[in-house]
């Protein structure tokens, strides 16, 4: 019988965080471009696509760097917040909306991303307090 591989969050300072960051970059960039060019039907431009790749890279870097530094809960919460924000953007832009609803979709994305970051910080502080208490 083959040994079961443990699937989970990589350990701190693990090289797997590079893979997680690369997957995050591809996922975030693809979702941003799908929303803009696919769902909204905007004309594709390489300049805008490159900016979405940069934004996806920045978001993935924050998540992967936090995990690599040992803040694994922060990394997961931030990634979940970004994904929730992108899904909220899809929800808002699929409505027949004028300019204000498009602005609301961006603000909702930012709000949910920052909520994920805040939740991750709180989770890390709680985990730290539990570890300190056990000692």
For 1-40, the pLDDT digits (tens) are 556 667 789 999 999 999 999 999 999 999 999 999 999 8
Q: Which two tokens stand for residue 79?
A: 């990634």
Give the pLDDT score at 12.
94
Asked which of 16-25, 30-39, 79-88, 97-106 is least confident by mean pLDDT, the reply is 97-106
Domain range list for the chain: 16-134
**Helix, strand, coil content of the chain in percent (nearest 5):** 80, 0, 20
| Phi and psi angles of residue 97, each rounded to the nearest 5 degrees, phi first | -120, 155
Give the pLDDT score at 2.
57
Give the pLDDT score at 86.
97
* Average model confidence (pLDDT) across the chain: 93
* Residue-wise DSSP of 12-27: TT-THHHHHHHHHHHH
Quote the pTM value. Answer: 0.91
Give the pLDDT score at 4.
67
Give the pLDDT score at 40.
86
Tell me the pLDDT band of 101, cut-offs 50, 70 and 90: confident
b/e for 86-111, b at 16 or more Cβ within 10 A?
bebbbebbeeeeeeeeeebbeebbee
Q: Which two tokens stand for residue 26?
A: 């591809």
pLDDT over 70 for what percent of the chain? 95
Q: Which two tokens stand for residue 88?
A: 């909220």
Q: How far apart are CA 99 and CA 4, in angstroms?
A: 51
């Amino acid at each position: 019988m083959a040994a079961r591989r443990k699937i989970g969050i990589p350990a701190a300072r693990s090289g797997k965080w590079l893979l997680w960051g690369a997957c995050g970059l591809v996922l975030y960039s693809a979702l941003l471009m799908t929303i803009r060019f696919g769902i909204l039907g905007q004309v594709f431009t390489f300049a805008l696509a490159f900016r979405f790749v940069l934004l996806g890279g920045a978001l993935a870097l924050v998540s992967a760097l936090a995990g690599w530094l040992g803040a694994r809960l922060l990394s997961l919460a931030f990634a979940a917040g970004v994904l929730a924000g992108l899904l909220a953007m899809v929800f808002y832009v699929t409505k027949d909306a004028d300019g204000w609803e498009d602005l609301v979709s961006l603000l909702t994305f930012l709000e949910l991303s920052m909520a994920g970051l805040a939740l991750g910080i709180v989770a890390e502080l709680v985990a730290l307090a539990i570890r300190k208490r056990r000692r």
